[in-house]
Amino acid sequence: MESHKIVLTADRAMMGHYKTVLEGAFTAIFTNKIPEYIYYSLLSPPIKSKSNGVVYAPAGLRMIETVLLNSGFDENDIIITNPQDISKVIGDNTRIVAISSGDPLGKAANTSAMREVFGGVPYTELSFSKILLNKSLQTFKPSICAGGPGAWQLEQFPEYLDKYNIRNLVVGPGEKVVPEIFKLILDKKEVPRIVHGEISEDVPPYINPTLIGVVEISRGCGRGCSFCTIRSVPIIHFPKDKILKEIKVNSENGQRNISLAAEDFLRYGAKGLNVDSGKVLDLFESISRLDIDRFEVYHTSVTFLSQVSADYLENLHNLMTVSKKSGWSWANIGIETLSPPLVEAHIKGKIKPFTPNEWAGALKESMGKMNDAHWFPIGSIIIGLPGESEKDVSYNLEFIESVKDIKGLIMPVFFVATSPDETSYTLDSMSSSQIELFKACWDYNFKHWESFFFSYYKDAGTDTLKMVQNTISNRGFKLYLNHVIKNLHARNKLEVSYV
């Protein structure tokens, strides 16, 4: 490989060769308690590369590449590279190295929980720092820019900008601001150290294929959850023509599994909080007619699930599986807390049109409806929300008991501060009832997840060896978690057996 003027890369957790969204998401939460050779060879193998860079790249980097080319930058000056190959593409003529990360300091909710439970340092954090400590950066001294979904962490802890010699940080969407920032850097002009991107509907389609076939259908949310970094970012929906173009770019380059990115896929095309079921169905039907094997979604909400029938959801599932009319689809539906006072304080906008007292019942009904339609609901319960009491925890425990026979996954995570005046929750702060809640979530997960994941990976085309490895990893994880929970109970002097 030869050196390039502009080098784009991301932490290794974002740039592993994954078949599915969930494979990538779960790999990203691990710490270095898992040996490096296992993590990098089995869980997060590298993306294949050619002389002009990686074959598939994270969607955010592909978008930056696209807007740079559309702004007049020379394609021969730009390369997207695997982080482990960065020294091969940096040289005397390299002026800018831009690094994207979803979790640069290991402070995301799931990652923080794993750090607390298992110890060690998250691979997201290790990989990010490893890029920035690469000797080629010290030798050739290009301008270092950082951004990505986890940029809020670096803004909240700006001392890391100095520690890693990061010249510029882009927080939020980069399509509008990055070309201008790069032009100023190349012209040796001053740029504000922290730049906030602006959301825009004028986003061009990707020129090259994305990792896991990620295609955005909507962006933003704006429903006001107190702990969310996009709580005040208004939602926009991208035109169907743009979405289909990006899927075709992926399928024509061998990416036959497509992932539709949105904070709520059932909200696509909606005006306000009223579902436009016809527009969602039209999009899914149009995608299913393309030359792909399957597609999946990320998130939806009870607000929109409550407005559609199980038959409608099953129809969407059948369209998504395209060539495989079996197995499961999945979607993250949130949850967060079941305590009416905490719902009122933290997620009042998320639960509309329901009241805090109706939230648990609406969730249970939506989860059951999803199961009836071959959908697997995934959510999280936040432990340690500001103001949480023992009574608040009891609402969460009652809910888990009420849905024990509905297939799903409920991840217990710790509250993560997203502003300097907040304090993140830790394992050492857990009360006896919170330990019981942590245990109840994992009891529920162990009951349901293995059969789902086997079917999910099989439908996605994951090879048999990888599925066996995942099964072994899941069972090893269960044994270790058993040990952790017993120790927590011992610390609190509780005599509780764990099966």
Taking the C-alpha atoms of 155, 36, 430 and 378 in order, what is their torsion angle to the nearest 10 degrees? Answer: 80
494 pLDDT above the threshold of 60: no
Read off the DSSP letter of residue 280. H
Q: How distant, in Å, are the alpha carbons of 44, 56, 462 from that of 466? A: 11, 20, 7
343 pLDDT above the threshold of 80: yes
**Would you say 332 and 299 are in contact if contact means Cβ atoms under 8 Å apart?**
yes
282 pLDDT above the threshold of 70: yes
Residue carrying structure tokens 């592993």: 16
The pLDDT of residue 417 is 83
- The more confidently predicted of residues 355 and 334 is 355
- CA-CA-CA-CA torsion sign (208, 211, 212, 218): negative
Arithmetic mean of pLDDT, 78-95:
96
What is the distance, to the nearest Å, from the Cα of residue 353 to the centroid of all Cα atoms in its chain?
A: 26
Token output for 475 = 């069972």
**Would you say 88 and 52 are in contact if contact means Cβ atoms under 8 Å apart?**
no
Question: Quick one: which H or E segment has residue 203?
Answer: none
Highest mean pLDDT among 36-45, 99-108, 319-328: 99-108
The pLDDT of residue 279 is 98
- The more confidently predicted of residues 197 and 478 is 197
pTM of the model: 0.91
Dihedrals phi, psi of 330, to nearest 5 degrees: -145, 160
pLDDT-derived band of residue 235, with 50, 70 and 90 as boundaries? Answer: confident
The pLDDT of residue 405 is 96
Establish whether the linkage from the previous residue to 353 is cis, with ω within 30° of 0. yes
* Closest by CA position to 147, among listed 130, 162, 134, 161: 161
Dihedrals phi, psi of 338, to nearest 5 degrees: -110, 0
Token output for 488 = 């927590």
Arithmetic mean of pLDDT, 354-381:
97
The pLDDT of residue 499 is 36
Rg of the chain, C-alpha, whole Å: 22
Token output for 243 = 């979405």
Long-range contacts of 165-169 (CB under 8 A, 24+ apart): 165/132, 165/137, 166/132, 167/143, 167/191, 167/193, 168/143, 168/144, 168/192, 168/193, 168/194, 168/195, 169/145, 169/193, 169/194, 169/195
pLDDT tens-place string over residues 183-219: 999 999 999 999 999 888 889 999 999 999 999 999 9
Arithmetic mean of pLDDT, 475-498:
64
Strand order in the sheet with 168-171: 78-80, 6-10, 96-100, 143-147, 168-171, 194-196
482 pLDDT above the threshold of 90: no
Grouping H, G, I as helix, E, B as strand and the rest as coil, residue 21 is helix
- The more confidently predicted of residues 187 and 326 is 187
**Would you say 123 and 32 are in contact if contact means Cβ atoms under 8 Å apart?**
yes
481 pLDDT above the threshold of 80: no
Arithmetic mean of pLDDT, 224-233:
72
pLDDT-derived band of residue 474, with 50, 70 and 90 as boundaries? Answer: low
pLDDT tens-place string over residues 411-468: 999 998 877 777 888 888 889 899 999 999 999 998 998 878 777 777 766 666 666 6
pLDDT tens-place string over residues 209-228: 999 999 999 998 867 677 77
Residue carrying structure tokens 């998401």: 25
The pLDDT of residue 492 is 65
Dihedrals phi, psi of 219, to nearest 5 degrees: -145, 145
The pLDDT of residue 325 is 58
Arithmetic mean of pLDDT, 138-157:
96
Dihedrals phi, psi of 175, to nearest 5 degrees: -60, -40
- The more confidently predicted of residues 90 and 455 is 90
**Would you say 26 and 445 are in contact if contact means Cβ atoms under 8 Å apart?**
no
Grouping H, G, I as helix, E, B as strand and the rest as coil, residue 259 is strand
The pLDDT of residue 324 is 62
**Would you say 215 and 250 are in contact if contact means Cβ atoms under 8 Å apart?**
yes
Domain 211-453 has CATH 3.80.30.20: yes
Q: How distant, in Å, are the alpha carbons of 14, 84, 108, 185 from that of 413? A: 21, 30, 10, 40
The pLDDT of residue 496 is 42
Question: Quick one: which H or E segment has residue 217?
Answer: none
- CA-CA-CA-CA torsion sign (10, 112, 115, 168): positive
114 pLDDT above the threshold of 60: yes
* Closest by CA position to 329, among listed 389, 284, 376: 376
Q: How distant, in Å, are the alpha carbons of 81, 116, 152, 321, 389 from that of 488? A: 43, 12, 32, 42, 19
The pairing of beta strand 49-50 with beta strand 96-100: unpaired
Longest CA–CA span in the chain (Å) reads: 67
**Would you say 225 and 263 are in contact if contact means Cβ atoms under 8 Å apart?**
no
Q: Where are the domains of the chain?
A: 6-196, 211-453
